[in-house]
Amino acid sequence: MVLATNLGFPRIGPMRELKKAVEAYWKGKSSIQDLMQVGADLRAKNWKLQQEAGLDHIPSNDFSFYDQILDMTTTLGLIPSRYDWDGEFASVDLSFAMARGAQKDGVDVTAMEMTKWYDTNYHYIVPEFEEGMVPKLSHTKIFQEFEQAKELGILTRPVLIGPATYVFLGKPHYEGFKHEEFVKSLIPVYNEILAGLAQRGCEWVQIDEPVFSLDLCPIGQGVIKTAYEKLEKPEGLKVLVTTYFESLKDNAELAFDLPVDGIHIDLCRGSGRANTTANDADKDVEQALSLIGDEKVLSLGVVDGRNIWKNDIADSLAKVEKAVQKLGRERVFIAGSCSLLHTPVDLNSEEMLDDELKGWMAYATQKLDEIAVIAKGANAGRENIAAALSASNAAQESRKASARIHDKAVEERITGISDEMKERKSPFAERQQVQHAALNIPLYPTTTIGSFPQTKEIRTARSAFKKGEIDEAAYKDAMHSEIKAVVDFQHECDLDILVHGEPERNDMVEYFGEQLSGFAFSKYGWVQSYGSRCVKPPIIFGDVSRPTPMTVEWSTYAQEQTEKIMKGMLTGPITILQWSFVRDDQPRNDTARQIALAIRDEVEDLEAAGIKMIQIDEAAFREGLPLRRDDWKEYLDNAVENFRLSSCVVADETQIHTHMCYSEFNDVIDSIGAMDADVISIECSRSQMELLEAFVNYKYPNEIGPGVYDIHSPRVPDAQEMVDLLEKAKVNLDERQIWVNPDCGLKTRAWPETKEALKNMVSAAKQMREKSKAVKAA
């Protein structure tokens, strides 16, 4: 029988119950027992939901209070030495300290680095490998959750991050690190886990190896072979290795040769992130069938785990039927393309979306039903799912025919794009002189990335306005009051370049999408970004345009409150694209160009309103990079073109900024240079300025703000710590290039820590100026 299976389910809860519980615990408003109970309740609810949907394999250990990679780190006992771990049980509190930083005996302990999970907007905590580390089983979470489900009458399929993936996600902190030797040291712990699960009655284990989505060098291939040659499967326990986010391509033989019982392949590949077509997926099925052999199970990821559009059941079933014809029903699983972690929980919760749009969509809960119905069709025949097939076909046709999708004016404007629209009037060297003269920018200019803390009062006012409980005048008064308070504080701490604080914005992408045509918005479409941070991606369903200005009123009001320069704050086309659920009926770059033109209109209006600096955030620029190098050039060329299309409409005197966060920049530094922003700010503090090396080696000519403190941690670094980081930056950069700013926006931080940190940051910049003066005087 073809089995209906699932690789993972959203852990946050339909109403973000996990976020609320974790943050209450961090604030000391609840106990560890309260937090554990919320986790247990959410897991039980998720398991029962999947059981009721008719799934045959339900995952466990896909739940985490912060991040699944961090959980794997604590399970393996690979705790960095700065946390003074006693070598016994790795607690949840220890995990939180590793993720967020902590204080121990009055000394700050920095958080571990965080970065993007492959090409998604989920962030994981990067493992750190120190010399002398000895892996040992240090957390029994995987056993506890398996047993919890078993007590509920549900035999789950526990999920492990694969040893090869884990090793390549980590960062060695010593010379002479060898991946193959290190993975050997991990396998005894994996074997202990497998043995423990077998003793508890487990039948299948899922080992996630998304490393197969990458270009694997001989070292990478060797690490995988070594890991699985040494993996010991207890009798009666079967292992499914899951690959996702990309087609296997040249890694297919390696995957299907592994001594395991099943292989999962992603047949959606992130809804067009790599220009996927139905033909590509058919080729992937054919490749798998040619290599699967006579015993292994083939798990087909036909339901998209990274987007919210309804599955084309007839098309998915055709792929499944091809596999069944060759392998028989006993050797085929149906699944999502990857974990459903990247989709919202339940479409039935939505009240804001109209029936036509909802008729085209499926959240994680609905995707369970799609998996189950495809499996039923494969087992019982199409005639036994006739109603589901008819509804699916009707949804596909309705979407194609809807007048809401296509806008002739947008199509005509796209055709009119010229090369001149993507070029600044003068090269950077000339612009820099003009800007410094016109804007009077000091050495080590201080600024922030845009957002300031969002208080309960701000959120209440926004919510009341949306609900119609206050009128527009009262809403504007509330926002103006907050903007003035933010500007006054920036005067108080003597920042050089000010921002308005973005009190009117619930999210840096959602805010813009709400004002662009072709977008729709959910009420409960939350997905996890990192830890307790959840985002609600906009839904791009049709052609995009900007009916009216989106930020000009707020920026001009803020500029009226100060004689200093006020930065206009926008989100760039690639980030809007990457952090949205994107229509899958046209190439992604077509949608990106439409967004770029809309942002261009806003840039032009901000400049006309007297805003002299405009920041166009491209936080997701690196995130969108395809996982295979063969696809990089097309993506990067398009991304650069779209940034330039949105920004190259201003005079030389107007300074264009951009911001990128939590990425490895070496792979894309040429393209970052080609974007030709006057100033770029980047995350650097967690990596102790390591991420700056790409810009140094490239000899990046424009100006750069390496973040000097980590806004994702509540700890407040002192001025000297920031001076030390700026000194590191100054070793390889001309001081005229260096800006001083936090790593990212301050929206998620509290006011007290924000005020203290920014005052320290300004003090650090002033100290650097004094040092510069002293050197020049000498």
- What is the per-residue pLDDT across 570-596, written as a single tens digit (0 to 9) for each? 999 999 999 999 999 999 999 999 999
CA atoms of 180 and 490, how far apart (whole Å): 51
Please list, residue by residue across 386-418, b when 16 or more beta carbons sit within 10 angstroms of its beta carbon and e when fewer do. eebbeebeebbeebeeeeeeebeebeebeeeee
Phi/psi for 410 (5° steps) reads -65, -45
Region of residue 628 (phi > 0: left; psi between -120 and 50: alpha; otherwise: beta): beta
φ/ψ of residue 571, rounded to 5: -105, 135
Q: Which of 63, 7, 9, 16 is nearest to 40 (CA)?
A: 63
Q: Which of 348, 396, 59, 356 lies closest to 208, judged by CA?
A: 59
- Alpha-carbon gap, residue 360 to 348, rounded angstroms: 13
Rounded CA-CA distance 313/302 in Å is 9
Count the residues in the chain: 778
Residue 444, Ramachandran bin (φ over 0: left; ψ between -120 and 50: alpha; else beta)? left
Name the residue type at position 433.
Q
- Catalytic residue, chosen from 139, 179, 342, 712, is 712
Residue partners of 355: CB distance under 8 A and separation at least 6: none
So what's the pLDDT on residue 662? Answer: 59
Residue 669 pLDDT? 87
DSSP 492: H
Q: Token pair for residue 675?
A: 């974007």
Q: Are strands 533-535 and 565-571 parallel, antiparallel or unpaired?
A: unpaired
Residue range 94-142, pLDDT digits in tens? 999 999 998 877 788 899 999 889 988 899 999 999 999 999 999 999 9
What single letter denotes the amino acid at residue 135?
Answer: P
Tell me the backbone φ, ψ of residue 673, rounded to 5 degrees.
Answer: -60, -40
Residue 62 to residue 46: CA distance in whole angstroms: 11
Q: Scan for tokens 């995130």, then name that residue.
A: 623
Query: For the chain, which residues score pLDDT lower than 50?
Result: 270-276
Cα radius of gyration (the chain): 26
Residue 277, both tokens: 């077509």
> Widest CA span of the chain, in angstroms?
88
Q: What per-residue confidence (pLDDT) applies to 278?
A: 58
User: CA nearest 119: which of 284, 246, 281, 288?
Assistant: 246
Give the Cα separation of 501 and 490 in Å (integer). 10
Sign of torsion over alpha carbons 597, 601, 603, 604: positive
Name the β-bridge partners of 660.
682
Question: Residue 530 and residue 469: Cα distance in Å, rounded?
Answer: 32
How far apart are the C-alpha atoms of 532 and 744, rounded to whole Å?
17
Distances (CA, A) of 59 to 4, 10, 48, 133: 12, 11, 11, 30
What pLDDT score was predicted for residue 706? 86
How far is the C-alpha of 243 from the C-alpha of 103, rounded, in Å? 39
CA atoms of 387 and 369, how far apart (whole Å): 13
Under DSSP, is residue 240 helix (H, G, I), strand (E, B) or coil?
A: strand
The position carrying tokens 């699983």 is 333
- Residue 634, C-beta contacts closer than 8 angstroms, at least 6 positions apart: 275
How far does the chain reach from its first CA to its final CA, in angstroms?
Answer: 82
Closest to 338 in 3D by CA, of 307, 309, 304, 289: 304
| CB contact at 8 A, 393 and 314 | yes
Q: Mark whether 712 is an active-site residue.
A: yes
